Structure formats: structure tokens, C-alpha cells
Amino acid sequence: MLGTATTTLRALIGEYLFVSLFRACAESLASENASRLAAMQRAEKNIDELLIDMNASFHRLRQSSIDEELFDRRIRLRGPFAMSPAACRSL
């Protein structure tokens, strides 16, 4: 009976060690995957912020270009019809 108890105890200790190692590996993999997921979420947030900034810059530059072109056209259209400074002073 003592031999059976020793064998059983050894088997239980072996199983306990196996389960403990398996659990440690599973927790390690879960931690690694959680870290990767968090890093990907941060990267996605940074990309979204960069896209917002780049779109705002693009629209500002585009509007500036449009304004400049309209101003140039207005100057060219008014040019021939504009009064000379001397004519303005005589008014």
C-alpha cells in the first residue's frame, strides 16, 4: 500500500508541475498578446491623429492657394479699369 501511495504522490506532483508550467506559458502568451494589441491600438490612434492634422494642413494650403488665385484675378481684372492715383486725388 505504501508503494501505491508513493507512486500516486509522484504522479500528482508531476501533474501539478505540468499544470503550473502550462499555466505560466499561457499567462505569458496572453500578456504578450495584450501588449501587442495595446501597441497596435496606440499606433492606430496616432495614425488617425496624423491624418486629421495632414487633412487640416492640406485644406489650409488649398484654401490659401484658392484665395491667392482669386486675389490675383481680381487685381488683373481691376487693373485696366482702376483709376490712377492722380485721378483719385483730383476727386
Buried b (16+ CB within 10 A) or exposed e, 56-88: eeeeeeeeeeeeeeeeeeeeeeeeeeeeeeeee
Shortest CA distance to 35 belongs to which of 24, 43, 23? 43
Q: Which helix (H) or strand (E) holds 47?
A: helix 2-78
pLDDT, tens only, 2-59: 679 999 999 999 999 999 999 999 999 999 999 999 999 999 999 999 999 999 999 9
The grid coordinates of residue 5 equal 501511495
pLDDT, tens only, 63-76: 999 999 888 887 77
pLDDT at 2: 67
CA terminus-to-terminus distance, the chain: 128
The position carrying cell 500516486 is: 8
The grid coordinates of residue 11 equal 504522479
